Structure 1
Amino acid sequence: MRILYHFWILPACRKVRLALNEKGLNYDLAVEKPWEHADSLLALNPASEVPVLKDENGSVIADSQAICEYLEETYQDVKLMPEEIAEKAEVRRLIAWFDRKFQTEVTDNLVDEKVLKRLTRTGTPNTAAIRAGHHNIHYHLDYISFLTERRNWLAGEELTYADLAAAAQISAVDYLGDVPWEQHPSAKVWYSRIKSRPSFRPLLADNLPGMPAPPHYADLDF
């Protein structure tokens, strides 16, 4: 059986879940808490990071982008990467934007401070970091609006890994109710489209005991 080792709130894990779901691949989820450095996780990935995918053929792949590239090359019935070289480069550029830039400027300042610090018991939330996350998210949503006002999806006419990377980050922040949707209607329309896809439904069912999502999180109409 295919197994994805993950932790539910981490965007890298969410991106891979979306990719597996879009490709219609069955899999089981195994929760790992990477900060605990469990021997079971270290045996799969010496970096003690998730996601890690163990495929049906026994292959073990770590790192969200490595997993997505593996899935794209191995399971080609549903394509999430364009064929043309320049279009592939644009998808990869946007993946890096969200995986690195959005993660550093927004997610680390909101999800890490509000959720992961609590779970790992590594201190109280840094209010300055939270303010920075709330400030930074606006220009990222503006950029999503800029792209989707000129394209059907973020990287072009078709849904790609760029959309999955962006939605994974934003969905983690949206679980906290920290996305100012009303100030960014074009970004909201894009997110509503991807949020309404069947691949997204398992993410909308995520629930952290003691920290429920706001009512709009699972509402397809916000």
Structure 2
Amino acid sequence: MAVLHHHSFCPHSRFVRLAMGEIGLEPLTEERKPWVREHEFLLLNPSGTTPVLQENEIAIPGASVIAEYLDETRGLGVSGRRLLPTDPAGRVEVRRLLDWFNVKFFEEVTAHLVNEKIYKRFSREAPDPAAIRAARTNMRYHLRYIGYLASTRDWLAGDHLTYADLAAAAHLSCADYLSDVPWEEDEMAKDWYARVKSRPAFRTLLADRVPGMTPPRHYADLDF
């Protein structure tokens, strides 16, 4: 039985949960606290970061590595269509966007928001207002880029839903919970996100809550 070590509001963990939902894989889950250095977890992943997938006595660390593993072991999933395309050009574009969202978007936006507003809440550290302001500023150009992609393609990487859509939606979902996505600034990005958010794989994410923090009313509303 597969076990996913994750944190509910780690955007990389959310991406993997969405991917697993799309291919029909329902793992056991273990909630981890990224701000705590747990010895047991460090044995699985010395970096101490989430997510980590355990299966067949293998520990697979990190969102991108897990995505590649899922494609190699369950590429066709339950729908008969891959989340990572079969053609070289398509695979390059999906991987390019995966890097954009899981690295660039994360470093410029969600890492700051989640760390300052959620993780520090539980590690009893004071949030850094400058980091939050920078994340909100950076969010605007990332949202415009998502809107541009959504306006020129059926999905972010092309004609079909791929890992690129799931990664972007995972990061946006964390920021949206914290009321830090200015949806009114890009209707195309908002419409694309509504399509992804309405998929069955998204339901468990929308049910997650941070104790003591209530999301905006539209957070779990499929029609915004």
Q: TM-score range by the shorter chain?
A: over 0.9
Aligned to 2:72: 73
Distance 2:155 2:68 in 1: 20
Aligned to 1:112: 115
**Counterpart code for 1:150:** T
Aligned to 2:50: 50
Q: CA deviation at 1:207?
A: 0.8
Aligned to 1:26: 26
Aligned partner (choices 172, 175, 188) of residue 174 of structure 2: 172
Query: Retained in 1: the 8 A contact 2:151–2:188?
Result: yes
Aligned to 1:219: 221
Distance 2:191 2:47 in 1: 37
Distance 1:32 1:200 in 2: 20
Aligned partner (choices 141, 151, 154) of residue 139 of structure 1: 141
Q: CA deviation at 1:76?
A: 2.3
Matched, 1:153 2:155: yes
Query: Retained in 2: the 8 A contact 1:34–1:41?
Result: no
RMSD (Å), alpha carbons: 1.1
- In the comparison of the two structures, how many residue pairs are matched? 220
Distance 1:76 1:84 in 2: 13
Distance 1:71 1:154 in 2: 20
Aligned to 2:62: 63
Name the SS for the 1:193 alignment partner.
Answer: helix
Q: CA deviation at 1:46?
A: 1.6
What stretches of structure 2 of length at least 5 have no aligned partner?
none
Runs of 4+ that moved beyond 4 A = none
Q: CA deviation at 1:44?
A: 1.1
**Counterpart code for 2:149:** L
Name the SS for the 1:61 alignment partner.
Answer: strand
Normalising by the residue count of structure 1, what TM-score does the alignment of the two structures yield?
Answer: 0.96
What stretches of structure 1 of length at least 5 have no aligned partner?
none
**Counterpart code for 1:132:** A
Tell me the alpha carbon deviations over residues 164-199 of structure 1, each in whole angstroms, 9 at most, x when there is no partner: 110111000001111111111100000000000001
Distance 2:83 2:188 in 1: 23
Percent identity for Structure 1 against Structure 2: 52
Distance 1:107 1:159 in 2: 22
Matched, 1:202 2:215: no
Query: Retained in 1: the 8 A contact 2:35–2:119?
Result: no
Q: CA deviation at 1:108?
A: 2.3
Q: CA deviation at 1:163?
A: 0.7
